[in-house]
Amino acid sequence: MMISSISDRTIYRVQVLERAFDILDALADHASELALSELSRRLHLHRSTVHRLLVVLEGSRYVERNGAGGKYRLGSKLLELGTKVAARLDLPGLAKPFLAQLVRDTGETAHMGILREGEVVSITNVESSRNLRTPATVGRRTPAHCSSLGKSLLAFLSEEELDHFVQDTGLKRYTANTITVPDALKGELQRVRERGYAVDEEEFEEGLKCIGAPVRDPFGEVVAAISIAGPAARLGGFRMPALTDSVVRAAVGLSAALGYES
């Protein structure tokens, strides 16, 4: 009798876990927040059952509730876990083959960077064999608002985070093409989100052009960006469609290697 009781408890606990994971999957698969009633309908579970699980998940920050509408969304705890997963996956090591292929496809130096304190920090790169090429220095910091890497990262910040960035950095001018007006930068970042890549049109250094695209972690969060950089005369004109396709393809491939399902 005792063995049966233990077995029943084990089955119940497994079922509870499965239902909790189902809730997280439902929230992840939906573009916006979901109400309790909608979750109950989607999962074919009683409202009281879903509510009990949501209370536990909310208490551990795996889900969050919108105070105004009472709807639920994925919580910040998942972002923390996703960041730790990405860090342990050796992001630079995983990126190397994709950057190397990008160099072969485009003939230009390929870079990867992350956003830190309003700047882009280079974490790995693969140099082109061309005589005229951009320097590739790990640890190098560049302004985010005037680079393709930076714009690929800034485009996916929240409105509040972007406002803080603008306030803290001041959008310093580096060339005649640097975007220094907040509304103009927001418009540019909207275009980045729509087309899936960013372009630095000699905005940081005259004569230098870059094309970048975002890299996502298993939870869809943008954690890095990759780019190619080279002389403006080479990165333009009829080559642009093929170059942007190569950069986006490399970013999508690396995102998939990290566990992101598009």
Answer yes or no: are the C-beta atoms of 182 and 171 closer than 8 Å. Answer: yes
* pTM (two decimals): 0.67
Residue that is written with structure tokens 């590739």 in the block: 136
**How far apart, in Å, are the Cα atoms of 49 and each of 12, 45, 54, 60?**
13, 7, 9, 17
The pair phi, psi for residue 67, each rounded to 5°, is -60, -35
Q: Where are the domains of the chain?
A: 2-74, 89-258
The token pair that represents 249 in the structure block:
């393809």
DSSP state, 262? -
Write down the CATH number for the domain with range 89-258: 3.30.450.40
From first to last of its 262 residues, the chain has per-residue pLDDT tens of 444 444 666 665 778 889 988 998 888 887 678 888 998 999 899 999 989 999 998 888 999 988 666 899 888 888 777 666 656 667 888 999 999 999 999 999 999 999 988 899 999 999 887 655 566 677 889 999 999 999 999 999 999 999 999 998 899 999 999 999 999 999 999 999 999 999 999 999 999 999 999 999 888 889 999 999 999 988 888 999 999 999 999 999 999 998 888 7
What residue type is assigned to position 178 of the chain? T
CATH class of the structural domain 2-74: mainly alpha
Integer Cα distance of 226 and 128 in angstroms: 15
Integer Cα distance of 246 and 103 in angstroms: 9
